[in-house]
Chains A and B, each alone.
Chain A
Amino acid sequence: MLRLENLSKRYKTGDLALNNVTLEIPDGQLVALIGPSGAGKSTLIRCVNRLVDATTGTIHLGDREITGLSNKELRRARRRMGMIFQEYALVERLTLMENVLSGRLGYVNFWQSLFRKYPKENVREAYRLLDRVDLMHMVDKRADELSGGQRQRVGICRALIQDPELLLVDEPTASLDPKTSRQIMRLIRELCEERKLAAIINIHDVALAQMFSERVVGLKLGEIVYDGAPEGLTPEVLTEIYGEEDWEKTIEKVDDEDDMPNDGEMA
């Protein structure tokens, strides 16, 4: 279980990105985090694995308090939190296998990682994961040879091989076309179900958020303004989160198995 309590973050520039956020995410729950640009979505998930340090407040993952860990303990804690990025953030000049195995860096020592001497079961797991996302035939290709959707699937493998209890997903579909977006979101949801993972997914696309999550949290100017079921996203709620706009079309179709681009795709 992930527990954020009274979390605030003020950047050096003076911007208050998170304002007293309290949020609890039970094991295995898939949460979509929506909100306009600059609402603090990225800051929130980066506070969880402390790529950004919160100004005040606490974060607990299980019994462990993440805020206030020493450097060494923090590395240990980060191993259990897989992160997936908007622009994939793969190491472009390394192969798929190396990229996936880099998810194990928190577990192996420096020399093992330098000479790519990963334990056998890691390599086997990497093969299994790459096979699961249909990239088995490209194991030795370099990451910069892949398309966007393929890269994001490698990013997912890298996060999963960490053996995480929590996935932090930052705009996984923002650089992808509508169809690939759906496939990636479906893949993330399936994998979370298979492995009983909790996940926080930042996402701009309200329709996608409704389609693939069990719970939606709406963030506005660093504060939670909605927390509830995807079905509860009425035009009034969306207006509350994003501001005045015609929302009818956006929430018209909440249809999971639809692979076609939705009319109400958010601009």
Chain B
Amino acid sequence: MPTIETKEGPLWRKRTTLKQWLIWGGWLIGLCIAVYAWQLISEKTIWMFVWDAPRQMSDIGERMVPPDWSYMPKLWRPVWDTLNIATIGTAIAMCLAVPIAFLAAHNTTPHKSVRAVMLFIIVATRSVNSLIWALLLVVIVGPGVLAGTIAIGIRSIGGCAKLIYESIEEIDPKQVEAIKATGGSRAQQMVYGILPQVLPTIAGVGVFRWDINVRGSTILGIVGAGGIGIQLSASINVLAWTQVTTILIVILGTVFVSEYISAKVRGAII
């Protein structure tokens, strides 16, 4: 932050001239890379298909309407399965995520090595997509709702535990100090000093994750892990586009409702 002396008094600029030019240079290099990348993509694209896209889209669009409402009765059960996968999966994930978070946060972990193991669990469960977990679990426990539930559960542990342990690390330490000063044990310090401070986060994370999982579980059926995705992939396979429309509308409705519920619940907690 240089101050430049001039005849009319000191002049202040945020950056030196050199720094400013470097920043502009950086933008220029970025632009060149973008143009080059665009060219590469353009060379590898079969443009005939792209020019054809609007016609194909209107073609599918035409075949997708009107939605086949007679298919509805067959969808209630899969929707119910989908919601169960999301709900039970989230519940399992939260039961595991809370203790993992306490073991991972640097102010509550019993030892650095425990923290390292927990952070590894968090990263490992987070890095693999739930569809891939489901793919593996369908092989292990067989196709169906169970595979989907476990897949959603495992996938959610990392995300939930990460948010919770970060909030544990950000608590107000004075409240814990006060509990410590009364002669409270470590367990009591957690229950009185820490838990009340992170409880809103835990609840919020749970509801938020459930909301994500409702969306996530609609697709699991594509690999045979239960839920409405099974119907979706079956209808696409037989090119029953009007049924596909119905299913998409149902998924939209489900997600809409779940989002409404989670917004309401979060509003009530915080």
Q: Which A residues lie at the B interface, using CB under 8 A?
A: 49, 51, 75-79, 81-83, 85, 87, 89-94, 98, 102-107, 110, 113-114, 155, 158, 162, 168
Cα separation A106 to B175 with both chains bound (whole Å):
16
Partner of A75, one of B183, B197, B199: B183
Q: Name which residue of chain A comes closest to B174, CB basis.
A: A89
Residue picked from B172, B180, B200, most chain A C-beta under 10 Å: B180
B181 at the binding interface (Cβ < 8 Å): yes
B179 at the binding interface (Cβ < 8 Å): yes
B191 at the binding interface (Cβ < 8 Å): yes
**Also in contact, A92 and B182, with CB within 8 A (given A85-B174, A110-B187, A113-B192):** no
User: Could you say which residues of chain A place their CB within 8 Å of the CB of B192?
Assistant: 91, 94, 98, 102, 105, 113
Partner of A158, one of B174, B182, B191, B200: B182
Q: Name which residue of chain A comes closest to B199, CB basis.
A: A93
Shortest distance between the CB of A262 and any CB in chain B (Å): 29
Could you pull out 16 A-B pairs where Cβ atoms are within 8 angstroms? A75-B184, A76-B183, A78-B181, A81-B181, A82-B182, A85-B177, A91-B175, A91-B178, A92-B175, A93-B197, A93-B199, A102-B179, A106-B183, A113-B191, A155-B178, A158-B182
B25 at the binding interface (Cβ < 8 Å): no
B185 at the binding interface (Cβ < 8 Å): yes
Cα separation A81 to B175 with both chains bound (whole Å):
17
Shortest distance between the CB of A2 and any CB in chain B (Å): 16
Cα separation A212 to B234 with both chains bound (whole Å):
82
Chain B, interface SS category: helix
User: Could you say which residues of chain B place their CB within 8 Å of the CB of A82?
Assistant: 182
B158 at the binding interface (Cβ < 8 Å): no
Q: Cβ of B175 and Cβ of A75 under 8 Å apart?
A: no
Shortest distance between the CB of A221 and any CB in chain B (Å): 25
Q: Cβ of B177 and Cβ of A89 under 8 Å apart?
A: yes
Q: Cβ of A83 and Cβ of B191 under 8 Å apart?
A: no
- Taking CB atoms and an 8 Å cut-off, the chain B residues in 159-213 that contact chain A are 172, 174-175, 177-185, 187-188, 191-193, 196-197, 199-200
User: Could you say which residues of chain A place their CB within 8 Å of the CB of B181?
Assistant: 49, 51, 78, 81, 83, 168
**Also in contact, A105 and B184, with CB within 8 A (given A91-B193, A94-B192, A94-B196):** yes
B interface residues, how many (CB within 8 angstroms): 21
Shortest distance between the CB of B177 and any CB in chain A (Å): 6
Cα separation A104 to B175 with both chains bound (whole Å):
15
Q: Cβ of A102 and Cβ of B182 under 8 Å apart?
A: yes
Cα separation A75 to B187 with both chains bound (whole Å):
13
Q: A91-B192, A105-B185, A110-B187 are in contact. List 10 more A-B contacts (CB 8 A).
A: A51-B180, A76-B183, A78-B182, A89-B177, A91-B175, A93-B200, A105-B188, A155-B178, A162-B183, A168-B181
Q: Cβ of B183 and Cβ of A92 under 8 Å apart?
A: no
User: Could you say which residues of chain A place their CB within 8 Å of the CB of B182?
Assistant: 78-79, 82-83, 102-106, 158, 162
Q: Cβ of B183 and Cβ of A113 under 8 Å apart?
A: no
User: Could you say which residues of chain A place their CB within 8 Å of the CB of B199?
Assistant: 93
Q: Cβ of B185 and Cβ of A110 under 8 Å apart?
A: yes
Q: Cβ of A51 and Cβ of B183 under 8 Å apart?
A: no
User: Could you say which residues of chain B place their CB within 8 Å of the CB of A162?
Assistant: 182-183
User: Could you say which residues of chain A place their CB within 8 Å of the CB of B187?
Assistant: 110
Partner of B184, one of A51, A90, A93, A106: A106
User: Could you say which residues of chain B place their CB within 8 Å of the CB of A93?
Assistant: 196-197, 199-200
Shortest distance between the CB of A151 and any CB in chain B (Å): 12
Cα separation A106 to B182 with both chains bound (whole Å):
6
Cα separation A76 to B184 with both chains bound (whole Å):
9
Shortest distance between the CB of B250 and any CB in chain A (Å): 40
Shortest distance between the CB of A82 and any CB in chain B (Å): 8
User: Could you say which residues of chain B place their CB within 8 Å of the CB of A158?
Assistant: 178, 182
The proximity string for B residues 112-125 relative to A, scoring 1 for CB distances below 8 Å and 0 otherwise, is 00000000000000
Cα separation A118 to B209 with both chains bound (whole Å):
36
Shortest distance between the CB of B180 and any CB in chain A (Å): 7
User: Could you say which residues of chain A place their CB within 8 Å of the CB of B178?
Assistant: 83, 85, 89-91, 102, 155, 158
Partner of A89, one of B175, B183, B188, B197: B175
Cα separation A81 to B181 with both chains bound (whole Å):
8
Shortest distance between the CB of B182 and any CB in chain A (Å): 5
Shortest distance between the CB of A161 and any CB in chain B (Å): 9
Cα separation A153 to B204 with both chains bound (whole Å):
32
Q: Cβ of B185 and Cβ of A91 under 8 Å apart?
A: no
Q: Name which residue of chain B comes closest to A142, CB basis.
A: B196
Shortest distance between the CB of A234 and any CB in chain B (Å): 35
